[in-house]
Structure formats: structure tokens, C-alpha cells
Chain A
Amino acid sequence: MYKIKSIFLTILIFLFACEPDDICLSEIDDTPKLLIGFYDKNSGNLKEVENLKIQGLDNDQIYIFETIDSIGIPLINNKNLTTFNLTKNFEEDNVDSGNNDKMFVNYNPNWIYISRACGYITNYDIDNLIIENDIENWIIDSEIITYSIKDEENIHVKIYH
């Protein structure tokens, strides 16, 4: 009888044991951003953009305001278009300062199942990237290196200036 009771208790402990796959570990890769590198048109090398402000269209928050040569920007998960304003030589205390170029990214989002705890991530298939023509574009040209956005290992888009 005691033997039976001990078998019983063992199985009972099994029943209420905790389940490790209910936690989404931070090591797991999340949705990739669109990685943009800024290159010199003449030399083809990475070149910093002075005081670059990046802000999404219809988004009150400034995504970044820094002098940088590359950046990852997030795309909207459930739409086919994300629009960003890229402003060079922006001054913090002057809203209309700098040279603003508008960038349209057209894509198809694909939702990929990851796990019970993490849910899904999005991968993107880029259709095209358009820089709106204005009076004075600081962006000379753009080039899509990778059309399928699955990770953040390499730069996806080159912007020449």
C-alpha cells in the first residue's frame, strides 16, 4: 500500500509541475526592422548623415534624432505601406528646420508562428522603396539589397547621399 501511495504522489507532482514554455525568452529574435545604410554616392562608403531626424508619418513620436550612418526602422505589421520622414540637418528647437525627404516603403507582411509564449513575428517582402521628389532632395538614390526581410544580419537598403 505504501509503495502504491508513493507512485501516486510521484505522478501527482508531475501533474502540477511548472511549464517552461510559457515564457518568451528575450534571446528569441523578434520582428526584424528594415536596416538602412547611408552611403556616399561617389565613394560608395558608409557616410554619416548630420543631425538626421527620422519620424513616421502620422506618428507623434520622433523615432531617432542623431548623426548616424545606419539605422533599423520598424515597419507597420498589418499594412502594406510605411512612410517615414527623413530630415537632414534638423535643429531640435526649430520644427521646420532641415531638409526633409519623404520615403515610402511598399511591402507585404507575412506573419510567422514562433511559439506559444512569443506568438508570431512578421517578415516582410519588399515591393519597392520610393523617395518622393521635392525641390531639393538630399537623398540622391536608393537601392534595395535584400527584398526579403527575415533578419537583421545585413543592411537591406542602401541610401546614397
Chain B
Amino acid sequence: MLKYIISFFILINVVSVFSQKEKDTITTSTYGMKIGIDLSKQIRMLTESDYKGLVVVGDYRLLDKLFLAFEIGTEEKLIENEVLNFNTKGSFLKVGANYNVFNNFKDLENEIYVGFRMGSSKFEHQLNSFTIYNKDQYWSQNEINSTELFKSLTGTWFELIFGFNAEVFRNTYMGLSLRLKRLLSQKEPNNFRNLYIPGFNKVLENNKVGVGLTYTIQFQIPIYKKKKKSN
């Protein structure tokens, strides 16, 4: 993971160095809409056999530094530990904004941004089996295979984001972001807990904080150009 982070920093630095060699000219900046996918889900699908996910990401450049952003996706995961075995599947939507704090040289369009998202998810759990916590092992019958479906569950949360997008080719961006999340509300199942929420990720039982990571590739649809404000 660190490898990607470092390479992104190098990439931004290299791009900046090249730009300084150019002559001073009046430059324009492209305003448009970016759309792409979160590749981290596809990486997870390769490394975790019991995970499926697809997330479409996008943003729209509203002002010079301000981007309206959204993410829409679906996830399915089998979670298994020593005492529980269950599937969670559902879909989610996140909307929010990014604010670019990076001053680009000339006609470059890289972003280092801070942002936020409001997330909302609808999902269900299928409990496959569980173990009865019993220190006494006299009957050694603590494994219960009883399937139960917990439907129509929901969760909402807030995310704080730090990330960057680098324009690797014209109108093609690669990005990485780290997220700190806080669960705001959830509809809990009866006699079970939301241990995983699609879009939010793993939910801890004793606090409401979660973390996340995205690794995106996005393509920009240019809509109009505007003269760039001087740096």
C-alpha cells in the first residue's frame, strides 16, 4: 500500500517539475465531470475469495477548488470467525464534496483534497451458523446450524476524506483516498448486530468509528474551459 502512496507523491512532484520548464502563457482550466470506478474493490475481489464489490465514483467541478462528489456501489461479503458465519449484502450511496488544496502549476489539473461524504446503505445479513458460548463442554454441542435472514436493515454515516487525484494522461485520473468514518444511525437486527455495513465496512461493537480506503481510476468529460486564476 505504501508503495502506491509514495509513487503518487513522486508522480505529482515529477509532473510539477516538468511544468516549470514551460513558458509563461495564459492557461485555461477544464471544468467537467469525472466518472470511474474504485479499483480497491476489484483488488479485494482478487485477494478475498468471499468478497464481491463494485463501486462507481464521480465528481463534478462546481467551482475552481470545489467538486461535488458521489459514490454508488454494491458489496457482498461472507464473514466468518471462530463463532459466527454470515453473509452481508447490500448497496449504498455516498454524496459530498471535495475541496482541492493543491495549487497547480500552469495547465495541470492535479488535486490534493479534503472532503466529506454522507453515506447511506441498505443491506441484509444471512446468518448461517453460530457457536454457543459455553465454558462447560460436557455435551460438546455448541455449534448451531440455524439459518436466519435479517432483512431491510439500514445505516447512515459521515466520512472525512483526505486524498489525491493525479492526471496521469489527458482527462484520465488516478486517485487514492483515506477515510475516517463515523456511524450516525443504523437499523439493527433483532438478536444480532450489524457487524459489517456495505459502504461503511467493518463495524466495531464498542465504538462508531470506521476506516476506509479507495483507489480510483476516473475519466473526465470536459464541459467547458475557464481562464485559470493566478496562483
Q: Which residues of A contact B (CB under 8 A)?
A: 4-5, 7-8, 11-12, 14-15, 19-22, 24, 28, 30-31, 33, 56, 59, 61, 63, 74, 76-78, 82, 111-122
Whether A115 and B205, one on each chain, are in contact in the complex, defined by CB atoms closer than 8 angstroms, is: yes
A72 to chain B, nearest CB (A): 8
> In the complex the two chains form, what is the Cα distance from A12 to B213 in whole Å?
9
Confirm or deny: B11 has a beta carbon within 8 angstroms of a beta carbon on chain A: no
Which stretch from B26-34, B88-96, B191-199, B219-227 is at the chain A interface? B191-199
Task: Name the distance in Å between A122's Cβ and chain B's nearest Cβ.
Answer: 5
A-B contact pairs, 30 of them (CB 8 A): A4-B112, A8-B162, A12-B178, A14-B180, A15-B211, A19-B204, A21-B205, A22-B81, A31-B133, A31-B134, A56-B138, A59-B138, A76-B139, A77-B139, A78-B141, A78-B144, A112-B191, A113-B191, A114-B133, A117-B82, A118-B133, A119-B82, A119-B83, A119-B84, A119-B131, A120-B133, A121-B132, A121-B133, A121-B134, A122-B134
B162 to chain A, nearest CB (A): 6
Known: A30-B134, A111-B191. 7 other contacts (CB 8 A): A8-B5, A12-B2, A12-B5, A77-B141, A116-B84, A119-B82, A119-B83
Contact in complex: A33, B136 (CB < 8 Å): yes
> Using Cβ atoms and an 8 Å threshold, which residues of chain B touch A76?
139, 141
**Most chain B Cβ neighbours within 10 Å, of A56, A63, A77:** A77
Footprint of A on B, CB under 8 Å?
1-2, 5, 9, 81-84, 112, 130-136, 138-139, 141-142, 144, 146, 162, 178, 180, 191-193, 195, 202, 204-206, 211, 213
Residues of A within 8 A of B133 (CB): 24, 28, 30-31, 114, 118-121
Interfacial chain B residues near A30, Cβ < 8 Å: 133-136
**Quick check: B139 and A118 within 8 Å, CB to CB?**
no
> How close is A113's CB to chain B, nearest CB, in angstroms?
5
Interfacial chain A residues near B83, Cβ < 8 Å: 24, 116-120
Chain A nearest CB, measured from B200 CB (Å)? 14
The dominant DSSP class at the B interface is loop
> What are the nearest 4 A-B pairs in CB distance?
A119-B83, A31-B134, A11-B178, A118-B133
Q: For B137, give the chain A residue with the smallest CB separation.
A: A74
Residue of A nearest to B81 (CB): A116
Evaluate contact between A21 and B139: CB separation under 8 angstroms.
no
- Once the chains bind, are A77 and B142 in contact (CB under 8 Å)? yes
Q: A4-B112, A21-B205, A117-B83 are in contact. Are A11 and B134 (CB under 8 A)?
A: no
Whether B132 contacts A120 by the Cβ 8 Å rule is yes
Least Cβ distance of B203 to chain A in Å?
9
A22 to B2, CA, bound (A): 26
Question: Who on chain B is nearest to A22 by CB?
Answer: B81
